Structure 1
Amino acid sequence: MNRVVIVGGGPGGYESALVAAQAGAEVTVVDTDGLGGSAVLTDCVPSKTLIATSELMSELSGSSELGLSFLDGEGDAATSIRVDLGRVNARVKQLAADQSTDIAGRLDREGVRLVHGRGRLDGPSRVVVDLVDGGEETLEAGAVLVATGASPRVLPSAVPDGERILTWEQVYDIADVPEKLVVVGSGVTGAEFASAYLSLGIDVTLVSSRDRVLPGEDADAAGVLEEVLKRRGMKVLSRSRMESVTRSGDVVTVRLTDGTEVECSHCILALGSVPNTEGLGLEEAGVRLKDGGFVGVDRVSRTSARGVYAAGDCTGVLMLASVAAMQGRIAMQHHLGDAVLPLDLRKVSSNVFTSPEIATVGWSQQSVDEGEIQAETVLLPLSGNPRAKMQGVRDGFVKLICRPGTGIVVGGVVVGPRASELIHPVAVAVGEGLTADQLAAVFTVYPSMSGSIAEAARRMHHV
């Protein structure tokens, strides 16, 4: 019997467990914090559930343009919409718990054994588990997969207290609506929370150490988002670096390196992530760690130690649940001798769940501008789309990046409502090497937002 031990129950862990179990392996998952990992319990599922409420608030706030109005119990026009943050957060945590339970049920049905405890490697083919209930258990394995994830980065000058100075994992315990919120960090996590709480009617200030929001994303897309956020009332402090965050009673003070102080009721720290790799015995087992403590892996998830694989945020490859899951699947397929396609990051779709959303796939505009790839781009604003006009959507665009001559689609960006759904046809084109002409030839519904993708492809046609 082929024995597989997986350390970590997040997407990289439980997805790899399913692949291995279905292939007939004897699989044990060692889990510490709950199946689903941070993706299900403290990150993706909770944050996107919160964002779903904020999206509805945003849509309702613009409903008057569509001819809708709200009345109070006396028949007078209602003047505002309020959020019950306690109820929202209770729903968030319940959905996360339910999803974790669903994962546990699926693993149980597939015959996967679950061990509750903290696992560490004792050589490349043995895992020692410090059990939650006390004692330890040693597990022998033909292959070990490390999928321990990552945790929010914190600084000595800005220590979270779980009440008013918070990491993104702690925000779901807030019961009362913050009077004023400061978000430190303008990357994906910071931008998502800032956008969500702004849509919930909260006074939000975003501290960005760079010259724009989302410095790692498409510049055109980031420009649209920043303009929208400012128009909706957010204060964005660009080129501002946080020096410290302190609390006195109910007042939190964010001090910047230029001496500026911003007072608020709550502060969310979005300062990046650190891998959960300390104390796992990795280097002693022959696993090479990269800068920052991330596990070094190749495109089939192998580490430098024979029989040891790694997947997910602990590898630092691309911190997305979809990538973690794919890394885990690839690892088990490779170990079990199944057909496997190495991970290709150029085919990964990603999304920033702000309002509007920003979805990307393939080569970026920056890569084109810097000469990494020869390509042509076309950008088509959504403001001319008939469905967008019907829905009152003015912000956003579709961008296609295609190879000159052949017209093969190698990248794309969608900015707008549900961009996470609209990016899929572009992702299919990138993944399958389709040309802009082939993408344009596929029928789209009229009227639809997806019609703009076909229209952008038509504009790429060269006679």
Structure 2
Amino acid sequence: MTTYDLVVIGSGPAGEKGAAQAAYLGKSVCVVDKGPAGGAWVNTGTIPSKTLRESALYLAGGRQRGLHGHFSTTANIRDLMALERRLVTRWREKIEKSFRNHGITRMIGRARFLDPHRLDVDGEVVESNAFLICTGSRPRVLPGIEPDGDSVHDSDTILRLTTIPQTMVVLGGGVIGCEYASIFQALGVQVTLLNSRDRLLGFLEPEVSERLEGILCAGGMVIRHETRFSGVERSSRGVTVFTDDGTLVPADLCFSALGRVPNTDDLGLELAGVDVDQG
């Protein structure tokens, strides 16, 4: 069993910065993560989505200028995803290099508390008087709308897309739903966005939400508010979303953006003496 001054669980932005600061102050630090460095921010969140967004805007600008062929979305989807993967790889290495430069120990594996001072990492135990939990979150999955990486996607699986659909239905009018809806609309996809609330991005001022909706609708997007969905039927032709008012919304692909949940359910926080609420 190895003892550290600080053990950080998670290598996303919070984990990386917390570990680096502690190491800078002369503390021995270990960072534990079950996957590649960078967390959702690098691997499935900010970096990939912003890369796709900028690429989509570039393609959209080409089409608006009457430049077809080279700007064809069908021909360039593999290039877009390849660019995204290259940038993700660079960011992963940048973070790993930061850990090495600061003398931070890296462990890859699933972490679970044994007690308030010990952590099991796939059978290896580390000890510390201080733990920093930076495990981030994952897409929320509802029964009947589970992503399959084929006709139903979330923000994790959409990055493995190999072809651009002709039509797409987006479930959710929050940040992730609006972002990917705008990305695919820029790629020439006919997008229908179903929002259970009365406006997009409810945390914004109403006039800002209205302005955003106006821009999206002017580009051809169909947006329906206060619409709840009861399920998704999958077939060889794509998907059909069933809404509470009996309307059927068919599309080639369904993108689920129904919020996120914390990655803390398998950490054994109760063994560490941490009380967890259900907020």
TM-score by length of 2: 0.94
SS in 2 for 1:108: helix
- Give the alignment partner of residue 47 of structure 1, picking from 49, 54, 58: 49
In structure 1, the partner of 2:114 is 122
Report the Cα distance in structure 1 between the residues aligned to 2:102 and 2:233, rounded to whole angstroms.
Answer: 49
Please tell me whether the aligned partners of residues 159 and 245 of structure 1 are also in contact (alpha carbons under 8 angstroms): no
- Give the alignment partner of residue 92 of structure 2, picking from 90, 100, 120: 100
**1:80 to partner: Cα distance:** 9.4
Residue 143 (structure 2) pairs with residue 156 (structure 1): yes
SS in 2 for 1:291: coil
Please tell me whether the aligned partners of residues 4 and 127 of structure 2 are also in contact (alpha carbons under 8 angstroms): no
Which aligned segments of 4 or more residues in structure 1 are displaced greater than 2 angstroms? Answer: 57-63, 78-81
In structure 2, the partner of 1:31 is 33
SS in 2 for 1:254: strand
Report the Cα distance in structure 1 between the residues aligned to 2:117 and 2:149, rounded to whole angstroms.
Answer: 38
- Give the alignment partner of residue 176 of structure 2, picking from 147, 168, 189: 189
Q: How do 1:139-150 residues align onto structure 2 when only pairs under 5 Å count?
A: 139-150=126-137
- Give the alignment partner of residue 165 of structure 2, picking from 148, 173, 178: 178
TM-superposition CA deviations, 1:31-52 (whole Å, max 9, x none): 1011100110011100000001
Please tell me whether the aligned partners of residues 93 and 172 of structure 1 are also in contact (alpha carbons under 8 angstroms): no
Residue 232 (structure 2) pairs with residue 230 (structure 1): no
In structure 2, the partner of 1:328 is none
The amino acid across from 1:47 in the alignment is: S
SS in 2 for 1:280: coil
Report the Cα distance in structure 1 between the residues aligned to 2:248 and 2:172, rounded to whole angstroms.
Answer: 16
TM-score by length of 1: 0.57
Please tell me whether the aligned partners of residues 4 and 30 of structure 2 are also in contact (alpha carbons under 8 angstroms): no
Instruction: Pick closer, same or farther for the CA change 1:229–1:143 going to 2, 3 Å.
Output: same
TM-superposition CA deviations, 1:302-324 (whole Å, max 9, x none): xxxxxxxxxxxxxxxxxxxxxxx
Residue 80 (structure 2) pairs with residue 88 (structure 1): yes
In structure 2, the partner of 1:13 is 15
- Give the alignment partner of residue 198 of structure 1, picking from 167, 185, 197: 185
**1:269 to partner: Cα distance:** 0.2
Computed over aligned residues only, the root mean square deviation of the Cα atoms, in angstroms, reads 1.7
Residue 249 (structure 2) pairs with residue 275 (structure 1): no
The amino acid across from 1:109 in the alignment is: N
Report the Cα distance in structure 2 between the residues aligned to 1:113 and 1:199, rounded to whole angstroms.
Answer: 43
Pairs aligned (count): 275
**1:60 to partner: Cα distance:** 3.4
SS in 2 for 1:90: helix
Report the Cα distance in structure 2 between the residues aligned to 1:245 and 1:202, rounded to whole angstroms.
Answer: 20
Report the Cα distance in structure 2 between the residues aligned to 1:253 and 1:80, rounded to whole angstroms.
Answer: 33
Report the Cα distance in structure 2 between the residues aligned to 1:234 and 1:2, rounded to whole angstroms.
Answer: 53
SS in 2 for 1:25: coil
Identity percentage of aligned residues? 36
Report the Cα distance in structure 2 between the residues aligned to 1:79 and 1:10, rounded to whole angstroms.
Answer: 39
Report the Cα distance in structure 1 between the residues aligned to 2:46 and 2:237, rounded to whole angstroms.
Answer: 29
**1:233 to partner: Cα distance:** 0.3
